[in-house]
Amino acid sequence: MAKITFGTSGWRAIMAEDFTFANVKVATAAIALYLQKSGEASKGLVIAGDFRFLSEEFQKITIEVLAGYGIKSYVCPIGTPTPTVSFELLRRKTAGSINFTASHNPAAYQGLKFNGADGGPAPTQVTKALEDGVVELQKSGKPVLEMPYDQAVAKGLVELIDPKENYFARIREFVRFDVIKKARLKIVVDTMHGNGTGYLDTLLQENGVTINVLHKNRDPFFGGHHPEPGAEELTEAIQLVKTWPAHLGLANDGDADRFGVIDADGTYISPNQVLAILFAHLMKTRDWKGAVVRTVATTHLIDAIAKANNVRLIETPVGFKYIAEEMAKESIIIGGEESGGLTVHGHVPEKDGVLACLLMAEVVAHEGKNFGAILKGLYQQYGYFYTDRLNIKLRDGLKEVMTAKLKDHPPTEIAGIKVKEIIRIDGTKFLLENGEWLMVRFSGTEPLMRCYMEAHSVESLAKLKTAGQELTNV
């Protein structure tokens, strides 16, 4: 029996290995039984999926299983962005959503993401209950209840919907498109064969932006690349920004919950830098009140901006569900993570890569200068922060050995600087006496160990990176 584990953003596994029709049926049944037990089943679920292999088929068997338990499905078109799904479930007041997406994972992966009635990724106590429910079903040997699709339709347990226009209306409340229109921007858009197609490009074009769109066709192989909007994956977009030329480049990952941003000179703007730029921009242009939320692996430039503006900072474990949990407790201005996810005041408690990209277009239009100049101003005002990350592929025994090493024999100094404090809310983060830091944690969605680092100069960052390589070389 395959072990179904819901990580920081749902259950992800390799198709035909663990992510099979049989396992999806069991996972869906566990969700159905959980909703029945919690009294939420009558509200139904929004069902969606990205452009990966077999998304339509996974949708269909999920609908049939939910119908077997008497739960209605509101079915989105394949290719509906994850943030749109979150917005729609809130608008319809359903019990939640099941979304088939592995986000930025390689093409061999598929995923099942369950969001609850609050619109955010299911919290740990819910995912634990779902995992326990799966085990119970597997051990019991009881068949999963199912109803043929046509019969489910006839009984009114299936409703086809398209949430695009309602989502567009909501986005227009957040983005100052009048500012964008006046700027007459030229923007390269890379939808990476993903769900941003028809969303990011359409919203820009209808607001006076001249766009040049890359990779808007459906390709489950994602052009042979990971559908992750990082510098390595956006080389074609980077080149086009320089040669066309464009004011900036924007990209979304496979399910459009993450963002990628390119400056006019082709420089890739890291998610850490994007978060800082947008935080400062929103402080300047909006009268929103509240805290700022970042994950433990995210830049401390956010901390500096928050301190200077007397804004409370909240640090969470890695995973957007933790940011969503904080949004349920109090108002926030912006919440984000270094892996390319953010949301803003009054919006869905879910990553929204479409909104992030549109707000970055607004920044350029409002400031009338490129991101490099904007960042220079931020650094001069708040201090210099340089970040990097190592990705180490897990091998047998590495996690156990590294966990024991960090717990029992943590370093007292790193790159010649004394460790001031160790934070263990997620992984192990070493705060150094000079304000720099290094952190080691294991990914919740991929078989990787990650080492994050932040320094106040390029030279110090290089030393931290070397120290990180030495620390993780076990």
Same domain, yes or no: 20 and 143 = yes
* CA-closest candidate to residue 338, choices 180, 474, 450, 174: 450
Reported as a single tens digit per residue, the pLDDT across 271-293 is: 999 999 999 999 999 999 999 99
Q: What sections of 314-455 are H helices per DSSP?
A: 320-329, 353-367, 371-382, 398-408
- Residue 285 included in any domain: yes
For residue 332, the enclosing domain spans 172-382
Same domain, yes or no: 431 and 375 = no
How many angstroms separate the CA atoms of 196 and 199, rounded?
5
Same domain, yes or no: 157 and 267 = no
Contacts of 459 (CB under 8 A, 6+ apart): none
How many angstroms separate the CA atoms of 329 and 137, rounded?
34
Q: Which helix (H) or strand (E) holds 151?
A: helix 149-154
Q: Which residues are registered as beta bridge partners of 442?
A: 449
Same domain, yes or no: 221 and 307 = yes
Same domain, yes or no: 250 and 377 = yes
Contacts of 172 (CB under 8 A, 6+ apart): none
* Residue 445 clears pLDDT 80, i.e. is over it: no
Pairing relationship of beta strands 45-49 and 341-344 according to DSSP bridges: unpaired
* Residue 395 clears pLDDT 90, i.e. is over it: no
Same domain, yes or no: 458 and 416 = yes
Two tokens, residue 364: 């350029």
Q: What sections of 336-370 are H helices per DSSP?
A: 353-367
Lowest pLDDT segment from 1-5, 116-120, 269-273, 286-290: 1-5
Q: How far is CA 188 from CA 78, 211, 234, 236, in A?
A: 24, 6, 11, 10
The reported pLDDT for the residue numbered 18 is 94
Q: Which helix (H) or strand (E) holds 239?
A: helix 235-243
Percent of the chain predicted with pLDDT > 70? 100
Mean per-residue pLDDT for 248-267?
A: 97
- Residue 1 included in any domain: no
Q: Which of 349, 382, 415 is the last residue of a domain?
A: 382
Same domain, yes or no: 205 and 146 = no
Strands (E) across 244-299 are located at 248-252, 259-262, 268-269, 291-295
How many angstroms separate the CA atoms of 188 and 149, rounded?
41
Contacts of 253 (CB under 8 A, 6+ apart): 103, 104, 192, 194, 227, 228, 229, 259, 260, 340, 353
Same domain, yes or no: 369 and 432 = no
Mean per-residue pLDDT for 31-47?
A: 98
Q: Which of 143, 163, 183 is the last residue of a domain?
A: 163
Q: Name the amino acid, one letter, at 47.
A: I
> Please, what is the Cα angle at 343 between 249 and 269, to 5 degrees?
30
Residue 16: what are its φ and ψ, rounded to 5°? 75, -10
Same domain, yes or no: 350 and 395 = no
- Residue 450 included in any domain: yes
The total domain count for the chain is 3
The reported pLDDT for the residue numbered 84 is 98
Q: Name the amino acid, one letter, at 306.
A: A
Mean per-residue pLDDT for 78-95?
A: 98
The reported pLDDT for the residue numbered 166 is 98
Mean per-residue pLDDT for 337-366?
A: 97
- Residue 402 included in any domain: yes
Give the chain's mean pLDDT. 96
Q: What is the CATH number of the domain that holds 429?
A: 3.30.310.50
How many angstroms separate the CA atoms of 48 and 71, rounded?
15
* Residue 204 clears pLDDT 70, i.e. is over it: yes
Q: Name the amino acid, one letter, at 287.
A: D
Same domain, yes or no: 179 and 325 = yes
Same domain, yes or no: 223 and 137 = no
Q: What is the CATH number of the domain that holds 364?
A: 3.40.120.10
- Residue 5 included in any domain: no
The reported pLDDT for the residue numbered 1 is 59
Q: Which of 135, 163, 191 is the last residue of a domain?
A: 163
Mean per-residue pLDDT for 21-43?
A: 97
* Residue 157 clears pLDDT 80, i.e. is over it: yes
Percent of the chain predicted with pLDDT > 90? 93
